[in-house]
Structure 1
């Protein structure tokens, strides 16, 4: 087995020294490898490479904090486990980290050894959890792909738990979607054919109880999706414990329906032939008996049809019937009355004649679309499908008696006793009057809606549930609430809070039948102000006159009228009081005059002392006297007036009443808590004032009302600036709200406890999870939800950690609101204030039930895989990164290695060499790129050194990345491949011999042709001219005869040389030859511009003959040629073009291809033919591409790999 791979961790921190220390500590364990970076942006790039098992990050960093890095990674799709490792100990940091997907939180500080040991432990746990999840997914993928490749379904039955697990392929064999239902042995038996059920159960039970290792059985099943009967073959092996008791049964299921059906068909045909003979013997008697029954049945059918025709004829709705050919077979009396067409005229007519009375033309109607379901979307009707084959429709394009009518139509097919469609029936009803009534109702409704909406009076309508359904424009103006916002809300939103309940009760009484008219009702405006409305309501009932449908209210804004009445009343009362006051003032003035001088002197002394005292304090003191107007005016203000208000004392005194400084929103507080005070009363209140610079200050105001020497009320008190205190309180409230929002918006169940170890805080997700109130949970109440078996352990772990003030982590079961106990991971840490004073603990719980189930599923899947490996008839394995991670016994048998020898070894171990492995790998990649999987035939090297041919089928876990892993099946095809190679060898030998004979035959035919035809022709010329020369008289000039003889002899010579060259063609093996050497061998001493340089091509040894013939062709046929140029260029597809160019007369366009044919040309017609034959041996093509009149250009296209440069 290969050594375990270290956990790959990435640590991000802006402290370089801490990075080095952390890596040193963590890597000393030997099982953790750490990469470090101080740059969060670089860390994000590293995370997205996917090579890390865990990421550890500081919280506070300059460019990006740890939580921002976590968010960015999660948004990009990375699910790598993430640990926040920071010195920040605030609860909100912990909560925000967990809510954003952090898997663990660890606070820096304390003993480094303990701290990094805890960090290392967290890294190992998270990496193990991540690998377990990946292992589950990969194991399941390998199982599915192995079954798909082998075309077998598998199942596992656990005798201890009674659980039956099917693979996806098994579900498909039984006609179920994978995982559609939980299977048991009983549900499996219910899908077995009843005739086979007892046999299947007995076979299985017998093999279990008798200690048999395996069994095989064939039986029938019913497919759940189609009900089809299928035949399956099952093979099962039992795994037993040390006592021989079966613990696990692993089986394979194979659909053998096609084979069984073929067998059954043969047997059935035999039985049918035997039964046919017997049947023929009894048919004669049955026919005699059936003839009498048929006559009686026919008579009853005729009576039934007559009865049906009468029913249709007397139907009150217009009705007609057609057969499948579209001919009318029924046209009832109501239809005659509606259309005016007698039945006699319409019966038997087709070609849509039944549409003419309605639409004035022959066209398809609804009855035709019923007979051709699926086309109703093209019909001119507004159709509705009532059932599978019944259509309802409406149309307004029909005309009857010259007027447009609206028709409601229903059409349905008709069936005979065997369920065959024999026609269709259509019922037509004139709904013109109904449609007119509906249109009138719509118009009336629209008129009423416009009347309500544009009425000058405010109108609102609500239903029996007091939900607003109408809200006109006048009510929008009255309340400031848009109609679309008000509609759907309760009517209570219209009333102020203090009178809402009473008004709603009054509304309910009115809705119950009470009267509510001309009532003055307060209406709440959106701004907070209250309007007074003269209110009248009326109930709207249904057709029965009793059922309440809705209530309508109309209001008239009388706010200004009520305010005017109030002011008038107040003014009247003030005038009466003033009159009485004047009457008594005269006597009082007389009595008070003598005392006034003395009081004034004492008051002056008191005020001087008061000013000296108040001038030395930081707050403000004030005094106010009651004025004749009924209001108070400042008579004294001293203290820190300028600092608190920004005004001097004199400026404030000039304002008369300090209400001018009060914030407008707090005027009501001023009027409520200060102005109404009477002698002997006092108050303390807080309100806001506006500083001279526009800022707002909070002050605490004390006000005391006394009676002055003159008997008039006098008010005095002080101001205290509490702005800083208010800001601190507001910041505290915002902080608490922020904390609660963070705690309540995540998935974590968060708790906290104080110094007494009593749990005093639980967030909303905790309370929602447990279904209990905060009061029930605080203290030790939460322990009631912990599973009784886990309770004592939880208490021990928590109290121990609390005493040591150390973090803890534990797993226990917690009861959910529905009574189910769920496994939770409970982590807690001590919390401190800014002065490091211990405050208690804070922690969170995460539901890990599904993780535990996943781990159990992994174990079950692994057991299932082991069972499949035991019974699979092919070799099955799995690799990750090209290294074997799993192999079954059949694969070991094929390769000759044991399982331990294969696991951890690279797949290339099975190939003879690196080249063979890379070649096979390229083929795999090419197939996988196209289809996502591949099946190839390759050769494996067995352990004993022998080779075996195998068929290798591969399916990738990730088609985009071969290194991520794959499942493979291996089938040994050595014997079949040996047979194929032997057949191929014989075929190749036969082909070679055939090709050789063809080539020899071609050469013989050509040489025979030259010998018989071309040479004989030239001999004829030669001998003829010699004969003429012999016949010449003495002294006669015979040079004109000798010249043709010389030419013919030359031609014969060249033809004989060609046959010699052609005979040698292809005898020698092709070889690399420099072009420049081949050109020099032409040796015609003709001006040649050779630009081929060190170019060499792979060609027949007769390559020099190519250039010799090209030079001969240029000299013989080029005309006035002054030079020859040889050059080359590379093509885009990797080929090379070599060109031979001259500046002669060129080749006519129509002869460019002809010149390469045998016998074509001005001389022997063999030179260019031979060139093409020589070049063609190594795949080189030659064409002539020159421009006639400007020179010839022969282009030789050399394939890629057939040319090179240099030696």
Structure 2
């Protein structure tokens, strides 16, 4: 039911309009006798449409419309007035009126037209709002995507530019949306050029000729990697993925591309690969040195056994030992170089948790230039002193228990005050006899991974708590994920839904339909359709499904949003019935008007209607026969007084009408086209408009010329008889005198 605010300074018309509109069952009408009262009601009540008169004291309908548009720009507004001037209509439409309807004519047909326009105005505004909400939801989803993402229409105009791509390029969406001619390539390459998104519709040959070294095509999706981009003066490596956008009819309406910055990942892979190669080479060299050292140690042991007898040989062995010690020092130095090369941070502490050493990356993280600068210092001397006590608690636990703590996550404050996340491992530092001497630790910076997990967590919360139902299904029809709304709307607990197949929930999707559906989904990528869901209590609800194709390795999935549209479909059915009723009413009205027209056209007497100025606005065709005219065009629009044989008699008629309110059997002469008079008798009364005001005069003229001829003949005969009688009486008197 639509809530209508009806504003008019005439209470009787308000009551009539309220009665007619509410009688249809489609409208709830609140009335106000002034625009000021209407503004107060609009501020505190839920209103679907405002219906207003134009001419009102204080604030007229146009000023009221402008105030409503300023406060409620999306609220439908219909101007319903007796004023029909063209400038009023133009000003109303320019000020934002949805419709303009002039009062007058048959009341039933007028209010039927008004009800129809109210329905159209409200439903049109609701449709616009629903579209705006849908577009906003889509924009919000795109904005929540962690990857830099943008979309274009079929003309190449940018229609979406999410927050992630704003962060990557430094270009806000307000500057990019609406631009074409490959403007979206400028932040990445500095000039207009094609991106992966432009190749989605191209042939395989055209794709291979493109600017991407590695391109993979999976259905309508293109995947590529490029290292040619340069964003904000920094060379970048991007992983790109582009696909087509379809409307509900399966027609292509644009394309979308997501861009992931994998520069650091590629650099890390290169560095790690180089480090592993260097470590492998160093390990081989160390192994050779260790074998050599072991050989020397064996020789030293033999020399010690012979030291008493071979002093000279002992001296030689001592010199050799010095040489070996030097080699050992060099080996330790090489080990330090290896530690300095690997990307992982390495450190070791004594039993008092003072630093004994570290590699160079760790020293730089701590804000020092060389590892030697840290020796003897504690965590309280580092940039991460806020976390120092927490670090030392972990250190003591490892030392006291002798149990390593491997691969755990913890925060760290850098010397410049930034907060990062680490993946840390700590083990006891032991001597050759197994005695614990301190602690040995390593860590790696996993800030980007932690942040990605946090974004993923927030995205999951958003999906879990989304108003619409959300489902993940594999291509065997198993439900593998549902959000809170899916449980709330269907009435099934989450555990029960996750053990079901789609066939159990959707009566319109038996296995054979599902198999055809997944073929279409693979081909089109996205599908929009309506179907039904069976709730736990057996109730069937209508739902609208937006589902997208997703793949992970060899597994394929359907990711679907479902919206309960049961109420909407019921409203559409009600609207259909209302339209059918309206059509039936309009047909009855046409039949009534046709019957009225038939009566007017076939009446023998003259039916007429004049406006307040006395001009004829309606006449039956019988006037042509009586007055000798060939077309009603010669009659309509003319002053009725001009058809009186004595025009001043029109004034006499109006005076009687004003005094008595009606005229009955009033005889007057009309003038034929040839100027001759004709006697008529009229019954006339005032014609009232819908608001009860006098808008003219209407009535019937009856031809009584024959009756007048008879009356005149009788009068002449009577006069002749009287004269003959008088003459006869005179002769009789003469005869009597003669006798």
TM-score range, shorter chain: 0.3 to 0.5
Ranked by relative contact order (alpha carbons within 8 Å, sequence separation 6 or more), the top structure is: 2
TM-score using structure 2 length? 0.38
Is the radius of gyration larger for structure 1 or structure 2? Answer: 1
TM-score using structure 1 length? 0.25
